[in-house]
Amino acid sequence: MIIFIKNNLIFFLNEKKTPKRIMTLTNCFLKGDGKITNLLIKSKPLPNTFISKDTYINSETCYCFHLFHNLSRETFYCEREKDYLDIVEKIKKEIVDNSKGSKTSIDQFHLVEYIGKGKFSVVHKAIDLRSQEHTYCAIKIIRKAKMENVDLISTRREIDIMKQLNNCDNVVKYIDYCENYEYIYIIEEFINSITLNQFLKKNDYFLREEVVKAILRQCLSVIDHAHQLGIIHRDMKPDNILISEGDYKITIIDYGLGRFLGANQLVVNEPFGTLVFL
């Protein structure tokens, strides 16, 4: 049995009034898997109840949904499709109701131009309607539906890294962040530049020595500053470096694979990055 009290979902394993799970629905994300088959049989719950991952139903077919919140995930199963559909709709409504009045949408921004896309995201140039000057910004729109828990962790870590590096001249500036049960929005500085990869192609991969030195000096300065803060990028490549053609100022972008090192940690054992640049 599942009930809602304020912004919490409370799950009871049976008719007894001892809660098995309590989850907040603020910034929660619901993912429904629908019908699944051949589930392991462990024990049978009371009729018409929802069960957690700790208990399995005595049936070849059931219906499954997941609730993600921050770094945690809870999985629930239901024997009947009608019960599954009813509770999914109720949870969706509760999530929407609980998000009203909080920073869950980008209504104060006007999307004007598509910039590019990533594995789970698209990036748009936008106008910030909150400012009197209606300045431009870039918004990364990340859809949660296809993300695993590790991807959600990486996205929230990217936001934390951007905040830590916000005082560095050669790193794209973090502006704001919004989230609802379906999307994560990262609002950042709009840089009217091209990637280093585009710049190299445009110049037939031939640059003057002083230009190369200027680019490397700025890149190494960012890397040094980040390392002093215990941050590593793990995906440094020409596509993640923007360059201004006038003064050759560079800006490092995309800390999606970045991470924090521990105080005494000097080496990361797992390989990360784009294969051709490793």
Structure tokens at 226: 């980040």
* CB contact at 8 A, 87 and 78: yes
**Catalytic annotation, pick one of 151, 160, 176, 235:** 235
* Spatial distance between the Cα atoms of 49 and 27, rounded to a whole number of angstroms: 25
Q: Is 128 a catalytic residue?
A: no
Would the CA dihedral through 172, 26, 84, 59 be positive or negative?
positive
- CA-angle at 94, arms to 89 and 96, nearest 5°: 95
Task: Tell me which residue has tokens 């870590």.
Answer: 157
* Spatial distance between the Cα atoms of 113 and 125, rounded to a whole number of angstroms: 5
* Residue 94 backbone dihedrals phi, psi, to 5 degrees: -65, -40
The set of catalytic residues is 235
